[in-house]
């Protein structure tokens, strides 16, 4: 068996085929119509949904252990679509790398996993063209280790040398006094890269205004929702028209200055955000003007039925995550700074925490960190703590201090 991964072969040899839907009997040849009708009457215990990823090797054989792993997480464990997509990407890249290097998946050891990790360190991503971040590399290595633990547990393999590595992989946050916070494995592992923690760098108010002015509908309103509520992109895209309007009315109620909006958080956890009246009024205007017009045109020209999603594009289809993120990136580039959808959410967290900290210093009986944790849907308070340390570095104050220092040196 060859040791390590080839650094020369780049052609992808593993194929991903998405599961389709059964055809209607009228759409198939007459001789096949009885079989098509019988297939539609079949009742499966655990049917895989349309779009389920099926991995094939270079000789077009199903990679059965990988499919079984994805099936368990998608059907039996009911993982989210994002989780399934992440696992599918990890397994696709792993098995593709194995086939390129002619390594049998059941014979791999630590040296193969280290070679896989090192290849990501040396090569940029084929998808983005950018170098892999340590976080992405660790995520893929972690996914491979989880797959092999699962394969041994479900008797796809009698044993694997990678099992010993998996026990030392979980990442635990270690803080040293006077040092930068960083992430490292609970036990030093051969396959894990050290991850340094990055602090959020929020937009300034002027940058936020420039970015919103550069965006076109519906992306400008979507960005406002992230800046004013801190929603993740996935949570934002799940909002429906009925979620932001009062009991099906065409405009939000004007009796209150804000409303609590129920949302489905990451991992299908229930949560809520607080939306201001001005944001809801702007959203109602978008629904009545832009969204209604786009949906009427889509129904007239394409025969599409009405959609329930709040944010749709000019073709009357739901806004896609990648399309929105690309719009944010282009708008930021046009404004002269880097912008991402997560930056909008981080800006909300930093702005809110700074204001709550100010109120607490003035005597308000509040816990600023806990409030931000709840409104941003963080599972652990340590995640929210990053925003507190980011708020402690006020760029405006620092710029004034630095100017003073430079003036004194002159």
Can you say how many angstroms the Cα of residue 339 is from the centroid of all Cα atoms in its chain? 16
Contacts (Cβ under 8 Å, ≥6 apart) of 330: none
Confidence band, pLDDT 50/70/90 cuts, at residue 181:
very low
pLDDT of 400 > 80? The answer is: no
Name the average pLDDT for the chain. Answer: 84
CA distance 87 to 72: 11
Prediction pTM value: 0.74
pLDDT of 170 > 70? The answer is: no
pLDDT of 183 > 70? The answer is: no
Q: Specify the pLDDT at position 167.
A: 63
Could you tell me the fold of the domain covering 203-410?
A: hpI Integrase; Chain A (1.10.443)
CA distance 172 to 218: 40
Q: Specify the pLDDT at position 156.
A: 96
Structure tokens at 169: 């992989």
Buried b or exposed e, range 343-353, using 16+ CB within 10 angstroms? bbbbbbbbbbb
Q: Specify the pLDDT at position 4.
A: 53
Neighbours of 102 (CB within 10 A): 11
Reported as a single tens digit per residue, the pLDDT across 352-370 is: 998 999 899 999 999 999 9
Highest mean pLDDT among 42-46, 172-176, 210-214: 210-214
For residues 36 and 146, the model is more confident at 146
pLDDT of 328 > 60? The answer is: yes
Q: Specify the pLDDT at position 281.
A: 93
Q: Specify the pLDDT at position 406.
A: 54
Mean pLDDT of 17-23: 82
Q: Where are the domains of the chain?
A: 15-196, 203-410
């Amino acid at each position: 068996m060859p040791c390590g991964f080839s650094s020369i072969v780049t052609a992808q040899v593993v194929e991903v085929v998405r599961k389709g839907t059964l055809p209607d009997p009228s759409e198939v040849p007459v001789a096949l119509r009885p079989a098509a009708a019988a297939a539609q009457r079949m009742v499966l215990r655990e049917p895989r949904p349309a779009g389920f990823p099926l991995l094939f090797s270079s000789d077009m054989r199903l990679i059965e252990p990988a499919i079984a792993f994805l099936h368990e997480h998608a059907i039996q464990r009911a993982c989210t679509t994002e989780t399934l997509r992440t696992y599918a990407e990890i397994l696709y890249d792993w098995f593709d790398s194995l086939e390129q290097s002619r390594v049998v998946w059941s014979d791999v050891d630590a040296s193969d996993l280290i070679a896989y990790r090192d290849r990501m360190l040396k090569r940029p991503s084929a998808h983005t063209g950018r170098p892999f971040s340590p976080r992405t590399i660790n995520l893929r290595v972690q996914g491979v280790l989880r797959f092999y633990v699962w394969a041994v547990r479900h008797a796809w393999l009698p044993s694997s040398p990678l099992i010993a590595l998996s026990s030392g992989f979980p990442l635990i946050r270690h803080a040293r006094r006077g040092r930068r916070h960083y992430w490292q494995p609970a036990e030093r592992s051969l396959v894990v890269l050290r991850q340094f923690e990055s602090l959020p760098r929020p937009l300034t108010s002027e940058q936020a205004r420039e970015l919103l002015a550069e965006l076109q509908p519906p992306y400008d309103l979507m960005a406002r929702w992230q800046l004013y509520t801190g929603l993740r992109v996935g949570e934002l895209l799940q909002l429906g028209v009925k979620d932001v309007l009062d009991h099906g009315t065409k405009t939000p109620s004007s009796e209150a200055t804000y409303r609590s909006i129920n949302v489905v958080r990451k991992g299908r956890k229930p949560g809520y955000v607080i939306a201001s009246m001005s944001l809801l009024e702007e959203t109602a205007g978008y629904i009545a003007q832009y969204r209604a017009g786009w949906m009427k045109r889509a129904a007239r020209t394409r025969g599409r039925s009405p959609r329930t999603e709040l944010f749709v594009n000019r073709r009357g289809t739901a806004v896609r995550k990648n399309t929105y993120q690309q719009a944010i990136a282009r708008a930021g580039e046009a404004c002269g700074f880097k912008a991402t959808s997560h930056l909008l959410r981080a800006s909300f967290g930093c702005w809110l925490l700074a204001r709550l900290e100010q109120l607490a210093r003035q005597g308000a009986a509040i816990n600023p960190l806990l409030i931000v944790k709840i409104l941003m849907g963080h599972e652990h308070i340590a995640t929210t703590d990053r925003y507190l340390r980011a708020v402690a570095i006020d760029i405006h104050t620092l710029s004034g201090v630095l100017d003073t220092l430079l003036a004194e040196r002159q």
